[in-house]
Structure 1
Amino acid sequence: MSEDAATLFCDTATAARIERMETDAITGGVRTGLRRSNGGFAQEIAGGAACFAAPGSPLNKVVGVGFAGVPTVGQWEAVEQAYAEVGAPVQVELAHLADPRIGADLTARGYRLTSFENVLGLRPRGRAWPTPQSVEVRRDDENGFDTWLDTVVEGFAHPDDDGRPAHEEFPRDILATVVRDLATAGDTHRYLAYRDGVPAGGASLRMAGGIAALAGAATLPAHRRQGVQTALLSARLRAAAVADCDLAVVTTEPGSKSQKNSQSQGFALLYTRAVLVKDPA
């Protein structure tokens, strides 16, 4: 473990910054989709947001609550009614550093714990980020959006986690819509990795308030175990350092290959989110 990973500490203020950025990203993606079609919503609740993009979308969730007060009974009732009207369950992603009263309230309201996800962090300043010589990474914000999108969606469509299933799986068309909406919402930078001149993987980077969120990383099956993810990670961390971000974060499934790869690059566990779900009445 690196010295940075051993000493990196996440307090509630840091978690609140990360959760605010996550909330802004999700609501931005939802609102981008709403310009294309009606039927979704992004409602503020206690510093977070209750979001619905479309049936079956991974953006359908409550995020960021617990750092700006505890939602009232009336607020939870309004959220549950909004999801009931679109026939969707209420999924709350609750950071373990959030106000603990929220977990107790949700349990009392009939929510069930379904899974967890980990948020890991690293300080990007003052470090060297080597790139495998066999991989070329290009920032692709101006041209080739469709190539980037196809590469990322194809990679996500064939998960690579040593047989460990993700707690969520989505059809390809829904994945493509969500990846597109998140990539075109706000100040998101896209990266493509090439091997032998052909696209091998893609990823995205979003920076705000001194935090760099590394997301959307996927490698095509034929190019795995060739340093593609390391190259994409290094390119984004260099960009975060140049932008003087004090923290870079990634979100992974607990015990997954993504978490293993992230920790091998110096990321440390900051906190865990519990995923709690209540089915529509």
Structure 2
Amino acid sequence: MDGERLFCDVALAERIERAEARWVADCSDAARARRGDTVGFARPLAGGIASFAEADSPFDKVAGLGFEGVPDADALDEVERAFAELGAPVQIELCQLADPEVGAFLTDRGYRLESYENVLGRRLGDAVDEVSGDVRPCRDDELETWLAAVADASLVVDTEGLPSHEDFSRETLVTVLRDMAGVRRFLAERDGEFAGGASFRVTDGIAQFAGAATVPAHRRRGVQTALLRARLAAARAAGCDLAIVTTLLGTKSQQNAQRQGFDLLYARAILVKGTSATRSSGAESRQAS
């Protein structure tokens, strides 16, 4: 493991946030493709993306904002109207390394701070730790089992750290996990049983980790550590130079990631305007460790 800490400057933060925006847009498009309609949108906004996938989806948000200056007021007016017409609040996830004028601009428009999430990263230039033989890629014929088990495990949240300000129903969780565009899924087994699952996606050389959960009966047995190592090895083999994971603050998921060499890069502020919704931010830490 590389002993040098990963430093995040504005350029690296912008690279990560643009990858996040691309993933949000692709997942939003996947939701419309699944339904076979054109309800919702994924439209550019000041270098980021404004997305509405469907009601109570974690892909209903504005991501990647703040690296091309303050958004045009008229353009943001249109985005806010589009969300309002669909009965949804506007949720903006703003990187702390974005243009500081953006936060003041949003506050003046009535956005309120609801929460934070952490973005952690790790270089992939060096070899990763040995991968457990109990972790393997999920086969196509195991997809439904993987979706159901990860959704069920995600509903039993870990009590460490700050809680999420959002939540999912089981049905929504399964749908969201299915719509995660371009991911590679892994599963872990213990004593012949499904113990946990996780996934990652590659965007511009960045391995984006998400969708991790451990079945409650198998927690505190190293399942998430094994899944992290397997994804790190797969991401390195895929030619990625960086792996990132988003967690809630002070959680077991954050601790597990830091034990595997991830450094805390920056936080995102979750700013909301409109009626609150019970949705998940998609942070890996809400998936139980």
TM-score by length of 2: 0.90
1:214 aligns with 2:209: yes
Equivalent position of 1:110 in the other structure:
110
Moved more, 141-150 or 16-25: 141-150
Correspondence 1:1-281 to 2 at 5 A = 3-4=3-4, 7-35=5-33, 36=35, 37-132=37-132, 136-162=134-160, 164-182=162-180, 185-186=181-182, 188-279=183-274
Shift of residue 273 of structure 1?
0.3
Shift of residue 213 of structure 1?
0.9
Does the 8 Å contact 2:161/2:248 carry over to 1?
A: no
Does the 8 Å contact 1:45/1:65 carry over to 2?
A: yes
Q: Distance in 1 between matches of 2:113 and 2:43?
A: 23
Shift of residue 75 of structure 1?
1.1
Q: CA offsets, 1:99-143, max 9 Å, x none? A: 1111010000010001000000111222331345xx611112533
* Structure 1 residues 90 and 150: alpha-carbon distance in aligned structure 2, compared to 1, 3 A threshold: same
Shift of residue 179 of structure 1?
0.9
Letter aligned with residue 184 of structure 2: H
Q: Distance in 2 between matches of 1:258 and 1:49?
A: 27
Shift of residue 197 of structure 1?
1.7
Q: Distance in 2 between matches of 1:100 and 1:154?
A: 39
Query: Unmatched 5+ residue regions in structure 1?
Result: none
Q: Distance in 1 between matches of 2:266 and 2:139?
A: 31
Superposed CA RMSD in Å reads 1.7
Query: Unmatched 5+ residue regions in structure 2?
Result: 276-289
Task: Determine helix, strand or coil for the equivalent of 2:126.
Answer: coil
Does the 8 Å contact 1:141/1:189 carry over to 2?
A: no
Does the 8 Å contact 1:125/1:244 carry over to 2?
A: no
Aligned residues: 273
Task: Determine helix, strand or coil for the equivalent of 2:244.
Answer: strand
Shift of residue 90 of structure 1?
0.6
Q: Distance in 2 between matches of 1:109 and 1:123?
A: 38
* Structure 1 residues 144 and 15: alpha-carbon distance in aligned structure 2, compared to 1, 3 A threshold: same
Q: Distance in 2 between matches of 1:248 and 1:279?
A: 34
Q: Distance in 1 between matches of 2:106 and 2:128?
A: 44
Shift of residue 198 of structure 1?
1.7
Shift of residue 163 of structure 1?
6.8
* Structure 1 residues 116 and 163: alpha-carbon distance in aligned structure 2, compared to 1, 3 A threshold: closer
Q: Distance in 2 between matches of 1:274 and 1:203?
A: 25
Q: Distance in 2 between matches of 1:43 and 1:231?
A: 37
Shift of residue 256 of structure 1?
1.1
Q: Distance in 2 between matches of 1:163 and 1:212?
A: 25
Q: Distance in 1 between matches of 2:172 and 2:197?
A: 18
